[in-house]
Amino acid sequence: MPFVWTKNSWTKYLGGDCVLESLPNPIGREGVLDPFKLIRDPNSALDAYIASYVWGYAGTGFGPYRAERVIRLNTDLANRKDFAAELFTLARIAMTSGGNAAFEHVVDRRRSDRKFFAWWGPAFVTKYISFSTKASEQVATTPILDSIVARWFRKNCNEIGPLWLNWNSADSYRRYTGCMAEWAEELGIEPEQVEQLIFKLG
């Protein structure tokens, strides 16, 4: 379902000279996907990040601040912290090696640097990974894992174990994507469609 978003609030924090000018309003998954199809360099990877936040936080008032905070806290070029470049690396891994490899990349980086992707939690990173894989013709689309989906699994699917939304391990995400792929095959649909059904039920 597309969501209406308030452009002025986003331009206040992120400026008007970015992907905000081209995003549809209301915005749905297809509107988010378009910038991901255009990822070619760090700047376009950052545009895709912003699009994912607009969609994910469209119905709230604190999305613009949170999107800007992540960019600001992870960008310090003088100290070799380049958030846009790291986004581009993440997108390339997802698009060529798949969602699990991309998630494991973040887990590995955070083992050596707890401040890597500071204030960017797994739920929104899996949004970025999911759209990156969907924009690729080389890998299968991996579904989003957020708190609503994780809660549904805790209530209805204990046999695969708890799904933790943290960076301690990539095991939860791998178990989740494996389960969703299996169910999708049984139902004759895509894993992301299974995720959407669970989200509606959650």
Q: Where are the domains of the chain?
A: 7-201
- The token pair that represents 137 in the structure block: 């013709």
Encode pLDDT of 35-81 as tens digits. Answer: 999 999 999 999 999 999 999 998 788 999 999 999 999 999 999 99
Averaged pLDDT for residues 192-199: 94
Grade residue 17 by pLDDT with cuts at 50, 70 and 90.
Answer: confident
Rounded distance between C-alpha atoms, residue 8 and residue 145, angstroms: 29
pLDDT at 194: 96
Cα distances from 16 to residues 74, 133, 186, in angstroms, run: 21, 28, 45
Residue pLDDT, tens place only, 150-159:
999 999 988 8
> Can you give the pLDDT at residue 148?
94
- The token pair at 70 is 């992540």
What is the tens place of the pLDDT at every residue in 104-147?
999 999 999 999 999 999 999 999 999 999 999 999 999 999 99
pTM for the model: 0.96
Nearest to 116 by CA among 57, 159, 75, 61: 75
SS3 per-residue string spanning 78-99 = HHCECHHHHHHHHHHHHHHHCH
Q: What's residue 96's pLDDT?
A: 98
Give the residue from 113, 124, 17, 6 showing the smallest Cα distance to 59: 6
Q: What is the pLDDT of residues 174-194, one digit of tens each?
A: 999 999 999 999 999 999 999
* Residue 181 burial (CB count, 10 A): 17
pLDDT, position 14: 94
Calculate Rg over the CA atoms of the chain: 16
| Cα end-to-end span (Å), the chain | 15
Q: Is the pLDDT score of 16 beyond 80?
A: no
The 8-class DSSP code of residue 202 comes to -
Predicted pLDDT at 182: 96
